[in-house]
Amino acid sequence: MTALSPTMQDGVIAGWLVSEGQAVKPGDALCEIETDKATMPYESPRAGTILKITALAGARAAVGETIAVIGKPGEDWQSVVPAIPAITAIPALTAIPATSSALPALEAGPVPLPAPVIAVPSAPAAVPPLNEPAFPSLGPSLPASTPPSSPLARKLARERGIDLRSLRGTGPHGRVIRRDVPSAGSVVPSTFGGESSTATHADRGAVAARTTGGRLRGDRVPISKMRSIIAGRLGTSWTQAPHFFVRAAVDMEKLLDLRASVNAGRDRPVGLNAFVMRLVAAALERHPIINASWEGDAIRYRPAADIGLAVALEGGLVTPVVRACERKGVEEIDAELADLVARARKGLLSPEEYSEASFTISNLGSSGVEEFTAIINPPGSAILALGAVSKEAVVRGDDIVARRMMRITVSSDHRVIDGAAAASFLSDLKALLEEPARGLL
């Protein structure tokens, strides 16, 4: 198996799109792989016939394990590679619902295959739904009339009391996938999964409370794959990168007036984040050290302002990246950002769309947070934290006036950025936010 992103070590096969005996060509989608950030197709590396599928749908496989064998039509795969074990189930590492049974996972390792038969590497481990046990249960068999669906979709449907037959699949060949299953509380439990369609209002409330993150006191909930990756990356950043922080209060009057002018008559307004990203890119052009990365024995200056925006998901976060913001206008940045955020919330981003940000922005202003500090998102060396915009009494000359103000904080890696450099960047960024025409024209 080959990794689909730098952080992938294993994955779950959401479902096969081909069957044994089927002819394939390079680039054909063989199966779907669910990762911590997205569900992605796994493509065939060569032309041939699917001789054997060794990893069943729902199975967890590590990078380097074999999930299928491609060779010549009619060739006996067992006579060529007899040592490949089938990957049939998910290891019972976490609590499994009482309605399902866990099968032990068989060990499987990469096996060198002589030409013309090759082992198709398995894809990285599929990530379970956020805020749920680390690996999905295969669960009981479904009625013959049940539409094709991914293991995660079936698990969500069981927990939310939803009949899969009532859903319209948007996956390959009409397959029901995770995003097709409505959230708890938006549907009435059906007879599927043992829930009565005449359940009381209190029953529905209890189901919703348990499936929307509500937990009983004393519960011990296994961490998800996404939470594990967040813990590893940010824990490493906090302990290895010596953080320091510089702060400023920004007068947002002119920028907010400019945004209102740009949005006049528009069906979809341009978001404030797009303006901030473009002005940050202008400041980064003047301060290339803020846009650099620590590489142990060298500091790498990034060629473009690839700016990530932290997006909250249920049980975690992802940072979609808008590339080369310095070469784009505000409207282009906004359109690209809106697309990235929408697909991020559906788990549809590809690895290159959420990795390798040279600078990151975290905005908690919409949650009413006035000021905070953020942990640097590697491989970047700085991150900008945006607080809420609020009216404050400000001294202007001899007068006290009401102004819309926002507090910002830049967290910097002292291995790369010195205090004076961070202060100079913050000063220029504050000036650009207060006089946005200087950075947008």
Q: Contact, 425 vs 292, CB < 8 A?
A: no
Tell me whether residue 203 is in a domain. Answer: yes
Query: The pTM is what?
Result: 0.59
Q: Of the residues 165, 182, 211, which one is the last residue of a structural domain?
A: 211
Same-domain status, 162 and 258: no
Least confident of 1-5, 82-86, 155-159, 341-345: 82-86
Give the end-to-end CA distance of the chain in Å, rounded to a whole number: 48
- Indicate if the pLDDT at residue 261 is higher than 90: yes
Instruction: Please report whether residue 167 resides in a domain.
Output: yes
**Which range (20-24, 239-243, 320-324, 336-340) has the least confidence?**
20-24
Taking 50 as the threshold, does the pLDDT of residue 107 lie above it? Answer: no
pLDDT tens profile 63-74: 778 888 888 887
Is residue 169 located within the same domain as residue 195? yes
- Is pLDDT of 369 > 50? yes
Going by the DSSP 8-state scheme, the letter that residue 179 receives in this structure is: G
Q: Are residues 294 and 432 in the same domain?
A: yes
Residue 146 falls inside a structural domain: no
Co-location of 110 and 156 in the same domain: no
Whether 422 and 301 map to the same domain: the answer is yes
Cis ω on the peptide bond leading into residue 116 (within 30° of 0)? yes
In this predicted structure, the answer to whether residue 302 has a pLDDT above a threshold of 90 is yes
Q: 86 versus 34: which is more confidently predicted?
A: 34
Lowest mean pLDDT among 46-55, 111-120, 231-240: 111-120
Provide the b/e sequence for 47-70 (b: ≥16 CB within 10 Å).
ebbbbbbbbbbbbbbbbbbbbbbb
Whether pLDDT at 129 is above 50: no
Question: E strand or H helix at 369, and its extent?
Answer: none
Question: At 341, which CATH number?
Answer: 3.30.559.10
- 277 and 381, same domain (yes or no): yes
Closest CA to 20 of 48, 1, 46, 58: 48
137 domain-assigned: no
Q: For residue 104, is pLDDT > 80?
A: no
pLDDT classification of 191: cutoffs 50, 70, 90: very low
The amino acid that residue 85 corresponds to is P
Element (H, E) at 409: strand 399-413
Report the candidate in 409, 396, 102 with the shortest Cα–Cα distance to residue 248.
409
More confident residue, 39 or 284: 284
Q: What is the pLDDT of residue 81?
A: 65
In whole angstroms, what is the distance from residue 176 CA to residue 157 CA? 10
- Segment 369-376 mean pLDDT: 97
Q: Which of 173, 243, 287, 414 is catalytic?
A: 414
Residues 203 and 71 in one domain: no
Predicted pLDDT at 124: 47
User: Which of 66, 99, 121 is at the close of a domain?
Assistant: 121
- 399 domain-assigned: yes
Instruction: Give CA–CA dist 52/213, Å, rounded.
Output: 40
Give the ranges where 264-387 is alpha helix by DSSP (H).
272-286, 330-345
Q: What are phi and psi of 261, to 5 degrees?
A: -65, -45
Asked whether the predicted pLDDT for residue 27 surpasses 60, the reply is yes
Q: Give the residue among 397, 169, 415 at the shortest CA–CA distance from 292.
A: 415
Do both 113 and 20 map to the same domain? yes
CA distances (Å), origin 258, targets 127, 197, 428, 433: 42, 53, 19, 11
Residues 94 and 182 placed together within one structural domain of the fold: no
- pLDDT score of 113: 47
Range of the domain at 203: 151-211
The whole-chain average pLDDT of the chain stands at 79
Structural domains in the chain (count): 3
Which has the minimum average pLDDT: 228-232, 248-252, 429-433? 228-232
Buried/exposed 246-271: b ≥16 CB within 10 Å, e otherwise: bebebbbbebbeebeebeeeeeeebb
- Nearest C-alpha neighbor of 436 from the set 288, 259, 171, 239: 259
Q: What is the CATH number of the domain that holds 88?
A: 2.40.50.100
Give me the pLDDT at residue 368, please: 93
pLDDT at 378 over 70: yes
For range 396-404, the mean pLDDT: 94
Q: Before 379, cis peptide (omega within 30)?
A: yes
Whether 356 is covered by a domain: the verdict is yes
% of the chain surpassing 70 pLDDT: 74
Tell me, yes or no, whether 221 lies in a domain. Answer: no
CB 292 within 8 A of CB 299: yes
Please state the length of the chain.
441
Q: Is residue 182 part of a domain?
A: yes
Nearest Cα to 350, choosing from 70, 123, 173, 59?
123
| Whether 206 and 335 share a structural domain | no
Which of 105, 121, 137 terminates a domain? The answer is: 121
Tell me the sheet residues that pair with 406.
250, 389
Q: Are residues 16 and 94 in the same domain?
A: yes
Max mean pLDDT range (42-51, 263-272, 381-390): 381-390
- Contact criterion met (CB below 8 Å) for 11 and 34: yes
Asked about 243 being catalytic, the answer comes back as: no
> Do residue 429 and residue 305 come from a single domain?
yes
